[in-house]
């Protein structure tokens, strides 16, 4: 099993996710009907990245704030209204509990309030433990835990507020691994999208979440990445087509030469589906593979025929990264599961999302 790979993810009391747990494989496919909770699960996974990056409050507030993201169904009598997240990787386990700010809430009543947090080694050693405003961490060479000296922001995880990481190497390792998780949900391809226009380019081993640096990401792959894999991914989707990156005065632009045409087509001329497929290829062929890559509805706006080359690119990426694919497409799901992907199907029961493993 890869270092840092996600072994278990559990979320409680988040939107429709009353209590959902997954044990992902190297490649995992998640399906379900509209409204079953697929988007909620994607957002819940995103909370972990937000916690590691110091964006927990901003992420929750952007979704309506704590009152909106808490479990939407009935609560048990005297049950504490809080979201509980559990992430188990190969080298550590991270638990996070956040709820409503205590009164008086003041002007920031939508913020989360981190009530408890814990990072644990596989042997059970506590590397970080937080209760409210105070945290203890396992320092290098220290016997037992030491009180973390910095004041903690109550709306953010202690994991994101780590200072002097050289003193807390195990905590820093977990933080670094989580920060390298990558999420791709939607590539805007309207007429004003930056993907369609030349952009100032810099070396780009990781495609931006919105794909705005597509041309620079492709040029980086061409210089230091899997050029053969890139050519194959494009040829499988558009037989005979070739990618070209135009570079003038520091501006990078994507062009596609297609069979039967005398000139190349600029990104601004390509269809939405073609452009989104190219973004997915750039994300999946990153020269800096992520420990975990999460694709939400990668089939959106793609012609069904593109599911075949897309599945090949996903399978190839799963050799370098753990990949989770959340999809509406029965065809894409079937192509991936037939190749051995772990599969879960989501459904609603009494308003709560249930994740059922598919044999």
* Spatial separation of the C-alpha atoms in residues 102 and 198, rounded to whole Å: 49
Share of the chain above pLDDT 70, in %: 97
Provide the token pair at 51: 């916690």
Distances (CA, A) of 346 to 32, 46, 285, 331, 338: 5, 18, 29, 17, 19
What is the four-CA torsion angle of 67, 70, 71, 76, rounded to 10 degrees? -80
Q: Which of 195, 182, 157 is nearest to 52 (CA)?
A: 157
The mean per-residue pLDDT over the stretch 322-334 comes to 97
DSSP state of 269: G
Q: Count Cβ neighbours within 10 Å for each residue of 206-218 and write b for 16 or more, e otherwise.
A: bbbebbbbbbbbb
* Spatial separation of the C-alpha atoms in residues 76 and 288, rounded to whole Å: 46
Neighbours of 15 (CB within 10 A): 23
Confidence of residue 144 (pLDDT cuts 50, 70, 90): low
Residue 304 backbone zone (phi > 0: left; psi -120 to 50: alpha; other: beta) = alpha
Specify burial of residue 234 (Cβ count, 10 A radius: 0-12, 13-18, 19+): buried
Confidence of residue 1 (pLDDT cuts 50, 70, 90): very low
Model confidence pLDDT, tens digit, residues 209-246: 999 999 999 999 999 999 999 999 999 999 999 999 99
pTM as predicted: 0.95
Specify burial of residue 102 (Cβ count, 10 A radius: 0-12, 13-18, 19+): exposed
* 3: pLDDT strictly greater than 90: no
pLDDT reported for residue 2: 54
The mean per-residue pLDDT over the stretch 202-212 comes to 97
In the beta sheet, which residues pair with residue 113? Answer: 99
Q: Which of 220, 320, 315 is nearest to 29 (CA)?
A: 315
């Amino acid at each position: 099993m890869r270092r840092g790979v996600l072994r278990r993810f559990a979320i409680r009391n988040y939107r429709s996710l009353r209590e959902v747990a997954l044990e992902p494989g190297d490649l995992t496919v998640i399906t379900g009907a509209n409204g079953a909770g697929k988007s909620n699960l994607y957002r819940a996974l995103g909370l972990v990245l937000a916690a590691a990056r110091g964006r927990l409050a901003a992420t929750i507030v952007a979704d309506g704030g704590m009152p909106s993201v808490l479990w939407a169904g009935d609560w048990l009598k005297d049950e504490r209204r809080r979201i509980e997240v559990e992430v188990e990787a190969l080298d550590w386990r991270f638990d996070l509990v956040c709820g409503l700010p205590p009164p008086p809430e003041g002007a920031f009543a939508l913020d989360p309030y981190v009530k408890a947090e814990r990072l644990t080694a596989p042997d059970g050693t506590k590397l970080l433990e937080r209760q409210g405003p105070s945290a203890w961490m396992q320092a290098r060479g220290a016997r037992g835990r030491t009180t973390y000296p910095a004041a903690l922001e109550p709306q953010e995880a202690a994991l994101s507020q780590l200072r002097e990481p050289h003193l807390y190497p195990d905590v820093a390792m977990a933080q670094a691994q989580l920060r390298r998780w990558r999420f791709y949900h939607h590539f805007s391809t309207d007429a004003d999208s930056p993907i369609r226009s030349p952009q100032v380019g810099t070396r780009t081993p990781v495609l931006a979440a919105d794909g705005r640096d597509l041309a620079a990401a492709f040029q980086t792959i061409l210089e230091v990445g899997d050029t053969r894999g890139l050519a194959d991914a494009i040829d499988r989707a558009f037989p005979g087509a070739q990618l070209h990156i135009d570079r003038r005065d520091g501006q990078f632009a994507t062009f596609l030469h297609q069979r039967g045409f005398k000139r190349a087509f600029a990104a601004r001329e390509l269809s939405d589906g073609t452009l989104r497929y190219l973004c997915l290829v750039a994300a999946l062929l990153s020269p800096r593979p992520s420990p975990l890559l999460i694709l939400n509805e990668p089939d959106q706006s793609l012609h069904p025929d593109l599911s075949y080359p897309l599945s090949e690119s996903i399978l190839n990426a799963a050799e370098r990264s753990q990949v989770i694919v959340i999809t509406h497409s029965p065809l894409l799901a079937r192509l991936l599961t037939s190749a051995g992907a772990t599969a879960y199907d989501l459904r609603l029961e009494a308003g709560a999302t249930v994740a059922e493993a598919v044999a």
